Amino acid sequence: MRLVPCLSIWVVCTTCCLAEVDDFNSPLLNTNKWLFSEDFSQNFVHTNGYITFQSTNATTPQNGYIFWKEKMSLSNNWNAKIQSYINPSFVPSGVPIRFPIPSLSGSNDIVLNGVIETAIGITDTLSGSNYYANLFLKGNNNQKYFNPNFTTIDSGGNTDANFVQVQSDKVLLEINYDSSAQRLYSYMYDYSDDILGSIIGSDSFEVSQLGSLSEVYVFVGGDTFTTIAPQGSATLDNFEIVPEPSALSLLAIGLGGLAVMRRRRS
Task: Enumerate residues 6+ apart whose C-beta is below 8 A from 164.
Answer: 145, 146, 147, 148, 188, 200, 201
Please, what is the angle between helix 3-16 and helix 247-265, to 10°?
140
The model's confidence at residue 257, banded by pLDDT at 50, 70 and 90, is low
Average pLDDT in the 166-176 region?
A: 96
Share of the chain above pLDDT 90, in %: 38
The domains of the chain, with CATH numbers, are 22-246 (2.60.120.200)
The model's confidence at residue 104, banded by pLDDT at 50, 70 and 90, is very low
Judge whether residue 219 has pLDDT over 90.
yes
Cα–Cα distance for residue pair 157/128, rounded to 1 Å: 12
Angle, vertex CA 140, rays to CA 91 and CA 164, nearest 5: 105
The model's confidence at residue 42, banded by pLDDT at 50, 70 and 90, is low
Query: If you average pLDDT over each of 24-38, 74-88, 105-119, 141-155, which comes out highest?
Result: 74-88
Query: If you average pLDDT over each of 52-61, 95-104, 113-122, which comes out highest?
Result: 113-122
The pLDDT score that the predictor gives to residue 210 is: 83
The pLDDT score that the predictor gives to residue 223 is: 87
The model's confidence at residue 176, banded by pLDDT at 50, 70 and 90, is very high
Cα–Cα distance for residue pair 2/100, rounded to 1 Å: 60
The pLDDT score that the predictor gives to residue 103 is: 45
Between 256 and 63, name the one with better pLDDT. Answer: 63
Q: In this structure, how many other beta carbons lie within 10 angstroms of the beta carbon of residue 91?
A: 15
Lowest mean pLDDT among 61-65, 118-122, 195-199: 61-65
The pLDDT score that the predictor gives to residue 101 is: 55
Judge whether residue 157 has pLDDT over 60.
no
Let me know how many helices (H) and strands (E) the chain has, helices first. Answer: 2, 18
Q: Is 80 in a helix, a strand, or coil?
A: strand
The pLDDT score that the predictor gives to residue 245 is: 64
Between 14 and 219, name the one with better pLDDT. Answer: 219
CB 95 within 8 A of CB 74: no
Average pLDDT in the 195-222 region?
A: 91
The model's confidence at residue 98, banded by pLDDT at 50, 70 and 90, is low
The model's confidence at residue 149, banded by pLDDT at 50, 70 and 90, is confident
